[in-house]
């Protein structure tokens, strides 16, 4: 059974047979209780250890619905199985199942599901190919546009990302879509546009992380008082976490309020670690432009 499972996980090309799918479901049922810890590990891998925009949606089962709906009376197929596997944390195996589903039924929705699955295992090039296949079948598919934009962002192709993220955000009007557009704009040096897009994202939710991203973007755009007020309001919340206080420290330094930054108390953070954050924040502030500061914070990698 180990050999079969290893073969299944190798690549999308190693598409599973019916017997393999039965094995997959058996294994999935057996390991249900292990999934939360597995997913927490996958998510933690993406988080910046010091400062960064906080990912609002991570993983294959996050903001976007990945499983196309079955027709009335139709039995769930490979997409349903892949979705169940993904929900339990085996993202690589889920991607191979989505690939088989797209091969059997090459619809736009199936290619969108495949693209999202590949994004979840950090394969942006292959994800972009899947999203392009979806758009060949449905050029106005907003979820395919969003996925292609995110794949291009991860590849550092910011101009290309903007081309598809603008219409995607307008059509979907979701926190995730507006956030991706904001990241693309900031990565191109458009701090004002990035702040506006993060503002649209923040307007769709009361999630503290979305609000914190908006505050940080306002700081990058030079809207000092707005950024500080937003971030202080977040840190006053009873559910604020250490990362929110770290972002407040960064915003205070970026806006030239060094004295307040040094006086800031950050719950659960040692004094030596706080000093390291202060020094890092000062280095970020001294970078020559918005795009460079964005890369240093972790908003986007260089193209």
Residue-wise pLDDT tens digits, 13-40 = 444 444 444 444 444 433 433 433 333 3
- The CA distance from 252 to 235, in Å, is 13
**Termini Cα distance of the chain:** 42
| pTM over 0.75, yes/no | yes
Residue pair 155/128 in contact (Cβ under 8 Å)? The answer is yes
Residue pair 210/175 in contact (Cβ under 8 Å)? The answer is yes
Residue-wise pLDDT tens digits, 63-88 = 344 455 444 443 358 888 888 888 88
Residue pair 42/89 in contact (Cβ under 8 Å)? The answer is yes
Residue-wise pLDDT tens digits, 194-230 = 999 999 999 999 999 999 999 999 999 999 999 999 9
* Packing angle of the helix pair 290-297, 208-220 (nearest 10 deg): 150
Q: Which of 134, 138, 115 is nearest to 125 (CA)?
A: 115
Q: Which of 152, 35, 11, 40 is nearest to 84 (CA)?
A: 35
Report the pLDDT value the prediction gives residue 43, as an integer from 0 to 100.
29
Where do we find the tokens 């990945």?
Answer: 66
Where do we find the tokens 């505050």?
Answer: 215
Is the confidence at residue 293, as pLDDT, over 90?
yes
Maximum average pLDDT range among 6-20, 136-150, 283-297: 136-150
Is the confidence at residue 91, as pLDDT, over 60?
yes
- The CA distance from 237 to 235, in Å, is 5
Cβ partners under 8 Å of residue 97, min gap 6: 16, 21, 24, 78, 79, 81, 82, 85
**C-alpha Rg value of the chain to the nearest Å:** 21
Report the pLDDT value the prediction gives residue 236, as an integer from 0 to 100.
97
Residue-wise pLDDT tens digits, 274-290 = 999 999 999 999 999 99
- The CA distance from 299 to 212, in Å, is 13
Where do we find the tokens 């997959």?
Answer: 24
Residue pair 32/87 in contact (Cβ under 8 Å)? The answer is no
Q: Which of 248, 239, 242 is nearest to 207 (CA)?
A: 239
């Amino acid at each position: 059974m180990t050999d079969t499972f290893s073969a299944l996980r190798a690549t999308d090309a190693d598409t599973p047979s019916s017997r393999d799918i039965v094995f997959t479901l058996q294994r999935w049922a057996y390991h249900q209780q292990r999934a939360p810890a597995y997913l927490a590990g996958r998510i933690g891998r993406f988080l910046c250890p010091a400062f960064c925009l906080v990912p609002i949606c991570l993983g294959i089962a996050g903001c976007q619905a990945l499983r196309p709906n079955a027709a009335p009376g139709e039995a769930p197929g490979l997409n349903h199985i892949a979705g169940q596997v993904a929900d339990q944390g085996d993202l690589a195996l889920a991607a191979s199942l989505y690939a088989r589903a797209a091969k059997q039924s090459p619809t736009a929705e199936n290619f969108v599901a495949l693209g999202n699955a590949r994004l979840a295992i950090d394969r942006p090039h292959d994800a972009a190919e899947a999203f392009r296949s979806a758009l060949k079948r449905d050029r106005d598919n907003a979820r395919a546009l969003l996925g292609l934009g995110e794949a291009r962002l991860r590849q550092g192709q910011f101009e290309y990302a903007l081309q598809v993220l603008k219409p995607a955000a307008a059509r979907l009007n979701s926190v995730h879509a507006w956030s991706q557009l904001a990241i693309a704009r900031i990565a191109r040096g458009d701090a004002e546009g990035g702040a506006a897009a993060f503002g649209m994202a923040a307007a769709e939710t009361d999630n503290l992380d979305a609000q914190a991203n908006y505050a940080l973007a306002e700081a990058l755009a030079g809207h000092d008082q707005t950024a500080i007020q937003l971030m202080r309001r977040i840190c006053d919340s009873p559910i604020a976490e250490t990362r929110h206080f770290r972002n407040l420290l960064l915003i205070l330094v970026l806006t030239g309020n060094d004295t307040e930054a040094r006086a800031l108390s950050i719950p659960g953070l040692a004094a030596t670690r706080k000093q390291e954050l202060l020094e890092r924040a000062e280095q970020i502030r001294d970078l020559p432009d918005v795009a460079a500061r964005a890369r240093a914070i972790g908003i986007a990698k260089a193209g």
